[in-house]
Amino acid sequence: MSIDPHELDDAQLNRDLADQVSNLTPEDLERMAAAQPHLPAAGDESRIAGRIISISGPDVFVDIGSKAEGVIPLDEFEPDDPPAVGQTLNLVPQGFDRESGLMRLSLREAKVQADLETLRVGDIVKARVTGSNIGGLELRIHGLRGFMPMSQVDIVRHDDFAHFIGHWLECEVSEIDRRGKRLVLSRRRVLERQREEEREQLRFQLAEGQVRKGIVRRLADFGAFVDLGGIDGLLHVSDMSYGRVNHPKEMLKEGDEIEVKVLKVDLVKDRVSLGLKQLATDPWTLVEGKFKPGDAIDGRVTKLMNFGAFVVIEEGIEGLIPISEMSWTQRLHHPKEVLKEGEGVRVVILAVSAEKRKISLSLKALGEDPWNGVAERYQPDAIVSGAVTRTTKFGAFVQLEDGVEGLVHISQLSDRRVRSVDDVVDIGTVIKVKVLSVDPQQRRISLSLKALGGEDAGGEAAPEESPALPRRKRDRPLRGGLTW
């Protein structure tokens, strides 16, 4: 609203002024002349009371006393709380409008000042997230600006804050800048207090055997930490599945909501052990009815060890192929010579023990045992040929066919005394030997080299009295300066 000074009628003003002062005494006129108008100066933010007298377009006109009027922008009123004539408000003066001569007033600033006066550090407020920046979240509490550092948004870390924008958050006031009309807020403190309250309640509610929901908070090599609602429990990797789990990330990821069984509660040490596989049927309870010795089944190699290979034959059921059960014909030093992890393999079940949770498997049982019929093929006194595969202190092993070896004992190498097996035979040499005996059950064949030695092998002199075979020359002198 504005008033044009050219439209004013001086004569009318004089008549109005005479009417107003006609009843005043000289003392009243002197007192009024000496009095200063009680109007706030521009920039003074002290609040004043005003009564709404009219609403016109975007302006709300207010009587602030002493026959003075002010104006408030209509958009400072909330849509759900519009202004009404006769309503009294607390307002903040913001100077005079030069055109209209009216005082500019602010309802919003009055609310901000009122909020600032009542707020204290530690108060709990609800704030709406209006945006985010590199340091955290921007918020509004009525007319006040708020900031929440990244570390104070939640108990857990967030890489993206976009999903918070537009939401109302319950926060604690941690700092107040009254001059800048700005607050520093913390949601984390509110959550931590709630968590501690829930933790105390939960500590005495937890019991072994309970099934509870939880959220996976952190993964480690040995297991996963699951938040049960204030208390973290450990789900060990061995309790995740009846099958082999090399790392928890194969089954879980952070943030997953899962059901777990409480296995053990230690209130003194604040430790809770959890299980996931315990919620499912143990497959080993049915193993003896499903797998019988002699059955040939398909499986998958899960792990190779020096002593054998683990093979999963059903979800949660693993068996072991000992290295001795991998080949009839090869002498293996490690299972990786014939198998690799992850490959499919067909095996034969040798033994099943549900009580010990063990199944023995065989790879070589799929082929025919070369020792079958060996007694018929190698009868005593038969002359046979074979290659020396290895030597030991007590004799030399001779391969007669794939998977069948015989032993020439050191006493059967020569009719003369033998100090070292290597003095008589070399590995890889093909020799003729005589079969002395065959024991198929023990898988042993005794052979003799000296039995083919003719007169020299059959001499009357005892082996002790026979001249010994010459030793191989030593590479270094003996102690004491003696030489060989």
Q: How far is CA 197 from CA 201, 242, 323, in A?
A: 6, 36, 57
Q: Is residue 199 part of a domain?
A: no
Q: So what's the pLDDT on residue 406?
A: 93
DSSP annotation of 71: E
Q: Is residue 157 part of a domain?
A: yes
Evaluate whether 257 touches 214 at the Cβ level (below 8 Å).
yes
What is the pTM assigned to this prediction?
A: 0.49
Given pLDDT bands bounded at 50, 70 and 90, which one contains residue 476?
Answer: low
Q: Which residues contact 308 (CB under 8 A, 6 or more apart)?
A: 320, 321, 322, 323, 325, 326, 335
Q: Is residue 243 part of a domain?
A: yes
For 416, the domain range is 374-457
Of the candidates 318, 342, 366, which is a domain's last residue?
366
**353 and 379 belong to one structural domain:** no
Residue 47: other Cβ atoms inside 10 A: 20
Q: So what's the pLDDT on residue 12?
A: 60
Residue 124: other Cβ atoms inside 10 A: 12
Written in H, E and C, the secondary structure of 86-128 is CCEEEEEEEEECCCCCCEEEEHHHHHHHHHHHHCCCCCEEEEE
Given pLDDT bands bounded at 50, 70 and 90, which one contains residue 28?
Answer: low
CA-derived radius of gyration, the chain: 50
Report whether pLDDT(161) > 70.
yes
Q: At residue 303, what are phi and psi to the nearest 5 degrees?
A: -160, 140
**263 and 321 belong to one structural domain:** no
If one compares 249 and 80, the residue with the highest pLDDT of the two is 249
Q: So what's the pLDDT on residue 35?
A: 46
If one compares 352 and 20, the residue with the highest pLDDT of the two is 352
Of the candidates 366, 383, 409, which is a domain's last residue?
366
Q: So what's the pLDDT on residue 234?
A: 94
Which pLDDT tens digit goes with each residue over 39-77? 444 334 467 788 888 888 888 888 887 677 788 888 777
Mean pLDDT of 18-31: 60
If one compares 361 and 144, the residue with the highest pLDDT of the two is 361
**263 and 336 belong to one structural domain:** no
Q: Write the single-letter amino acid at 361.
A: L
Q: Tell me the average pLDDT of the chain.
A: 81
**186 and 244 belong to one structural domain:** no
Q: Is residue 60 part of a domain?
A: no
Given pLDDT bands bounded at 50, 70 and 90, which one contains residue 138?
Answer: very high
Report whether pLDDT(13) > 90.
no
**388 and 347 belong to one structural domain:** no
Evaluate whether 165 touches 133 at the Cβ level (below 8 Å).
no
Report whether pLDDT(9) > 60.
no
Evaluate whether 188 touches 154 at the Cβ level (below 8 Å).
yes
Report whether pLDDT(22) > 70.
no
Report whether pLDDT(478) > 70.
no
Which helix (H) or strand (E) element contains residue 364?
Answer: none
Of the candidates 247, 279, 311, which is a domain's last residue?
279
Q: So what's the pLDDT on residue 431?
A: 93
Report whether pLDDT(465) > 60.
no
Q: Which residues contact 324 (CB under 8 A, 6 or more apart)?
A: none
Q: So what's the pLDDT on residue 269?
A: 80
Report whether pLDDT(391) > 90.
yes
What three-state secondary structure class fits 38? coil
Q: So what's the pLDDT on residue 17?
A: 55
Distance CA 237, CA 477 (A): 60
Which pLDDT tens digit goes with each residue over 170-228? 999 888 886 767 889 999 999 888 888 878 888 888 889 999 999 999 999 999 999 88
- Locate 386 and state its tokens: 């074979």
Mean pLDDT of 440-452: 90
**380 and 357 belong to one structural domain:** no
Q: How far is CA 295 from CA 71, 215, 315, 349, 359, in A?
A: 96, 43, 18, 5, 12
Q: Write the single-letter amino acid at 314.
A: E
If one compares 96 and 16, the residue with the highest pLDDT of the two is 96
CATH number at residue 228: 2.40.50.140
Report whether pLDDT(363) > 80.
yes
Q: So what's the pLDDT on residue 19?
A: 62
Q: Is residue 301 part of a domain?
A: yes
Q: How many domains does the chain have?
A: 4
**360 and 379 belong to one structural domain:** no
Evaluate whether 244 touches 215 at the Cβ level (below 8 Å).
no
Q: So what's the pLDDT on residue 113?
A: 67
Q: Is residue 411 part of a domain?
A: yes
Which pLDDT tens digit goes with each residue over 212-226? 999 999 999 999 999
Given pLDDT bands bounded at 50, 70 and 90, which one contains residue 262?
Answer: very high
Q: Is residue 465 part of a domain?
A: no
Q: Is residue 320 part of a domain?
A: yes
Q: Write the single-letter amino acid at 411.
A: S
Given pLDDT bands bounded at 50, 70 and 90, which one contains residue 463?
Answer: very low
Q: So what's the pLDDT on residue 309?
A: 94
Report whether pLDDT(455) > 60.
no
